[in-house]
A = this chain, B = another copy of it.
Amino acid sequence: MSDLLERLRGRGWRMTAQRRVVAEVLDGEHVHLTADEVHARAVVKLPEISRATVYNTLGELVSLGEVLEVTTDKRAKRYDPNAHRPHHHLICAGCGAIRDVHPSGNPLADLPDSERFGFTVSNVEVTYRGLCPHCAAA
């Protein structure tokens, strides 16, 4: 993701201060931030950036395949900068902590043709749920 700005420029993106700052926030920590969390961090570097622009930019990054959306519940969507290494997620039901995980095996191969109903299946998301060590102790 470090050369994200180069790739985006190469795709004809007009480079603006706002887009640069959003990209920097995502590049900074490999965590799963909500749009408002991204906005809060962006405001530190560019105080006048608006929520709408953060939403717009995140949406574009998702369309370009540079960032993944993670929808784990009915609260805010989260944005995952780790789009280039396939992985799944492990979520604590107590505190909401999210960890990247890399299971062995390929769930796509586990779906037989007879269970595909003629669909063109292109993608699979696996979400493990449980309790983190801290929440399990409580």
Contact = CB atoms under 8 A, between A and B. Distances in A.
Q: Which of A101, A110, A119, A131 has the most CB of B within 10 A?
A: A119
Number of copies: 2
A44 B95 CA distance: 40
A128 interface: yes
A120 B136 contact: yes
Interface stretch (A8-16, A24-32, A60-68, A72-80): A72-80
Given A119-B130, A123-B130, A126-B126, 13 more contacts: A90-B119, A90-B121, A93-B122, A101-B117, A104-B112, A107-B107, A107-B128, A108-B128, A119-B132, A119-B136, A121-B130, A124-B126, A124-B128
Interface residues of A, number: 39
Given A102-B115, A110-B103, A115-B101, A130 B122 contact: yes
A31 to B, nearest CB: 14
Nearest to A99: B117
Contacts of A47: none
Interface of A: 71-74, 77, 90, 92-93, 99, 101-105, 107-108, 110-112, 115-133, 136
Contact of A111 (B92, B117, B121, B128): B128
